[in-house]
Amino acid sequence: MSSEEIEVALNYLKNNVIRDQKKIEELLPLTSEVVRVSRIHKRTKSKKLIRYQIVIISGNSEAGVFGLGIGKNEEYRLAVKEGISRSKKTLKIVKRGCGNRECFCKTKDHSIPEIKKAKIGSTVVELIPGALKLGLRTSPVGKKFLNLAGVKDLMVVTRGNKNNKLNILKAIHEAI
């Protein structure tokens, strides 16, 4: 994408609280990925049911736009479809920068401008700007998510409930 195309897409996202999904995808190619699949077993009187809960991330790393969605359905395919659609409705523009005082980069766009924090449930996440070439210091799923966000050097510190992987992703999305 050219920088003009990115600017047009970002302006559309900034200026429209109610967004037209088709329009967004015309302006901005989005990548989506399944990052987590849970099977929830449900027993009714007559039969056992399996319900899928799928976590999807979507975004465009060049533009620095990312979203997170959950799809639930008895059919895997439909749960994925719902998750993709929801993740695209939560697209957030990442403010990139470099808030690492020891970093001597010139571009100032490889990380985030300052330390950010968010709490979801009992999970607390802190995002700390990393120096150039530090990479992403987080779980493999966290890395995928931050890659989509277009952030390259960042340390994610998790406190409280560290086992709730979904809340960690939600907190990263909220904090950034």
Decide if residue 134 touches Zn ion (CB under 5 A). Answer: no
Decide if residue 103 touches Zn ion (CB under 5 A). Answer: yes
149: number of CA atoms within 13 Å, CB side?
Answer: 30
Residue 116 beta carbon to Zn ion: minimum distance, rounded to whole angstroms: 16
Residue 164 beta carbon to Zn ion: minimum distance, rounded to whole angstroms: 31
Residue 137 or 162 with smaller CB distance to Zn ion: 137
Query: Hunting for tokens 């979203």 — which residue is that?
Result: 67
Residue 39 or 106 with smaller CB distance to Zn ion: 106
- Indicate which single residue of 13, 78, 105, 115 sits in contact with Zn ion (rule: CB under 5 A): 105
> What are the residue ranges of helices labelled H in 50-135?
76-89
Decide if residue 136 touches Zn ion (CB under 5 A). Answer: no
Q: Tokens for 142?
A: 């966290």
DSSP helix, strand, coil percent of the chain (3-state; round to 5): 30, 35, 35
Nearest CA to 96 out of 81, 82, 107 is that of 107
- Residues of this chain that interact with Zn ion (CB under 5 A) are 98, 103, 105, 132
